[in-house]
Homo-oligomer: A and B are copies of this chain.
Amino acid sequence: MGLRDFTLFDVIARNARLFGDRTAFVCDGRRISHGEHLERVERLAAGLADAGIGIGDRVAVLAQNSLEYVDLYGAAARQGAIVLPINWRLGADEIAYAIADGTPKMVVAGTDYAELIVSARDKFPSVERYHAFGVAPAPFRPFDDLVGPAPSCPAADVPVDAGFVIIHTAAVGGRPRGALISHAGLLAAGLQLLCSWSLGPDDVNLGMLPLFHVSGLGLLLGVQQAGGSTLVQRRFDPEAAVRHIEADKVTLFAEFPPMLGALLDGAVKAGRDLSSLRVVTGLDSVETINRFEACCPGAQFWAVYGQSELSGMATLAPFRDRPGSAGRPILLTNVMVVDDLDHPLPAGQVGEIVVRGPTVFKGYWNCDADNAQTFRGGWHHTGDMGRFDQDGYLWYAGRSPAKELIKPGGENVYPAEVEEVILGHPAIAEVAVFGVADAHWGEAVSALCVCRPGQTVSAEDLIEFVGSRLARYKRPKHVIFASALPRTAAGAVDRARVKQEHGAAGL
């Protein structure tokens, strides 16, 4: 390690010394102390080293949350490997694409996903080893085979600005791109949370978001930097969540709709006490936030704006400070709103949100031309639109027209990729995919379609057609048929008018 470097592994080693006997992680009833976590990470790191995994090598992970998944992040940090966590909600082709794009040396999968990997195996010529959490057919070996009997290799010399995680996102051209995030970026993002919420060793995080999502990973790391603990949930289960909050005195969690609403329903039903909570963050409806704050008067809901490309959050504030805004620029993040020529805009004017600071990602994996464009002028161009008000609160105003994004339940759906699939249906001549407000998921996918002359297709069939080719959350919830798409004078699809005329579907 270099003189001024400090990575996640340093956090793990420090926690083992300062908070050795205290709880670091709980999952499926297993409780791991900070001291035990260090030992598990060092033994796994020895196995990675034996398997030839070193600085810059990618390890793809396709699995639900688990203690082993958390260990893998720590061991990769120690050896300088790059974790490529895959969204298991994606379709088979999308998963195969993301893995192949990252050219990993190793793939680690949960039992449920092993078959999918095996069937796509010929797309992964770079992979030398397959390991599975649990039982899986050849070529998978047990994950436990990777765990050495003792820490036996020195930690690698990992520069703090080295890449650490690749998260596929930002499918502007119809294909997702891998955002390469550094140790420095993730740790700076964690520090921002630590400072914003005064996190400490007594904090308990309910880790319900998946570890492939920057919010799930980032909050876990921020709490870990503070010496606190995370209850790692395999996936969201509202009944288990409220039971944990009461029994383990959970102090904070991150969520996307409909998690908080479901959790409040569960708490009422089971008569659970949620009073240990002090911070909940995410995206949700005013109605749900009001219900939450009425139910937990000692807690605050924090509004945010963030991206994988920012290693987490860029703006943050208690929802109540300025309801409807996304908060104010967070500690180490320089945020501007600019016009098409990159000139800063005054308060009140909508433009593209650009960001500078240590949390900015290293670039999209293997996309040098895109990166030059994204980072032009020394600022990361988020592709998101917004405006500042006079007091420095950011108001999110949707994706920039060229980069529209729909976020059902916190996932990213790019209209272009859904449109490409729909246009592959023989009955469809034209389509515009767009987001509509949704009471349950926050936002839902809607498709305005024009059939070919003489052709028909039902909404149900078209939805199923998309669902069989992409992740299920990318299926349109609403399909509307029209005789033509509204177009601008220049002939392009007028997306603003599409939303204006057909945007009320979900309400």
- Cα separation A185 to B160 with both chains bound (whole Å): 14
Interface flags, A171-195, vs B, CB<8A=1, else 0? 0000000000000110000010011
Answer whether A379 and B194 are a contact pair too, CB < 8 Å, given A14-B329, A18-B328, A357-B10: no
Which A residues, 1 to 40, have Cβ-Cβ distances below 8 Å to chain B?
1-6, 10, 13-14, 17-18
A191 partner, pick from B4, B161, B191, B226, beta carbons under 8 A = B191
A6 partner, pick from B3, B198, B334, B375, beta carbons under 8 A = B334
Min distance, Cβ A362 to any Cβ of chain B, angstroms? 9
- Cα separation A396 to B327 with both chains bound (whole Å): 44
Chain B residues positioned under 8 Å from A332 (CB to CB): 6
- Cα separation A194 to B191 with both chains bound (whole Å): 10
CB pair B392–A18 under 8 Å, yes or no, is: yes
- Cα separation A34 to B334 with both chains bound (whole Å): 16
- Cα separation A322 to B225 with both chains bound (whole Å): 22
Which A residues, 235 to 290, have Cβ-Cβ distances below 8 Å to chain B?
none
Name the CB-closest residue of B to A194: B195
A380 on the B face (CB < 8 A): yes
CB pair B2–A160 under 8 Å, yes or no, is: no
A358 on the B face (CB < 8 A): yes
Q: How many monomers of this protein are in the complex?
A: 2
A331 on the B face (CB < 8 A): yes
A360 on the B face (CB < 8 A): yes
Name the CB-closest residue of B to A379: B3
Residue in A198, A328, A357 whose Cβ sees the most chain B Cβ within 10 Å: A357
CB pair B358–A4 under 8 Å, yes or no, is: yes
CB pair B360–A3 under 8 Å, yes or no, is: yes
A356 on the B face (CB < 8 A): yes
Min distance, Cβ A465 to any Cβ of chain B, angstroms? 41
Min distance, Cβ A386 to any Cβ of chain B, angstroms? 15
Chain B residues positioned under 8 Å from A195 (CB to CB): 191, 194-195, 198, 226
Min distance, Cβ A251 to any Cβ of chain B, angstroms? 14
A378 on the B face (CB < 8 A): yes
- Cα separation A225 to B191 with both chains bound (whole Å): 13
Answer whether A1 and B328 are a contact pair too, CB < 8 Å, given A191-B191, A334-B10: no
Min distance, Cβ A239 to any Cβ of chain B, angstroms? 34
Chain B residues positioned under 8 Å from A194 (CB to CB): 195, 331
Answer whether A356 and B18 are a contact pair too, CB < 8 Å, given A195-B191, A225-B331: no
- Cα separation A108 to B331 with both chains bound (whole Å): 32
Answer whether A1 and B378 are a contact pair too, CB < 8 Å, given A195-B195, A357-B10: yes
CB pair A18–B329 under 8 Å, yes or no, is: yes
Which A residues, 90 to 137, have Cβ-Cβ distances below 8 Å to chain B?
none
Min distance, Cβ A198 to any Cβ of chain B, angstroms? 4
Chain B residues positioned under 8 Å from A17 (CB to CB): 329, 392
- Cα separation A360 to B10 with both chains bound (whole Å): 15
- Cα separation A195 to B194 with both chains bound (whole Å): 7
Chain B residues positioned under 8 Å from A160 (CB to CB): 358
A378 partner, pick from B2, B198, B225, beta carbons under 8 A = B2
- Cα separation A2 to B378 with both chains bound (whole Å): 5
- Cα separation A380 to B1 with both chains bound (whole Å): 12
CB pair B392–A3 under 8 Å, yes or no, is: no
CB pair A3–B334 under 8 Å, yes or no, is: no
Answer whether A380 and B198 are a contact pair too, CB < 8 Å, given A18-B328, A191-B191, A329-B14: no
A357 partner, pick from B4, B359, B375, beta carbons under 8 A = B4
CB pair B6–A357 under 8 Å, yes or no, is: yes
Min distance, Cβ A159 to any Cβ of chain B, angstroms? 12
Chain B residues positioned under 8 Å from A392 (CB to CB): 17-18
Chain B residues positioned under 8 Å from A379 (CB to CB): 3
Interface flags, A374-403, vs B, CB<8A=1, else 0? 010011100000000000100000000000
Chain B residues positioned under 8 Å from A328 (CB to CB): 18
Chain B residues positioned under 8 Å from A329 (CB to CB): 14, 17-18
Name the CB-closest residue of B to A375: B3
The 7 nearest A-B residue pairs measured at CB? A198-B198, A17-B392, A6-B357, A18-B392, A4-B358, A4-B360, A3-B378
Q: List 7 A-B contacts (CB under 8 A).
A: A3-B360, A4-B356, A4-B358, A5-B357, A14-B334, A17-B329, A194-B331
Besides A3-B360, A6-B334, A195-B198, 13 more A-B contacts (Cβ < 8 Å) are A2-B356, A3-B378, A4-B185, A4-B358, A4-B359, A5-B358, A6-B358, A10-B357, A157-B378, A194-B195, A195-B195, A195-B226, A198-B198
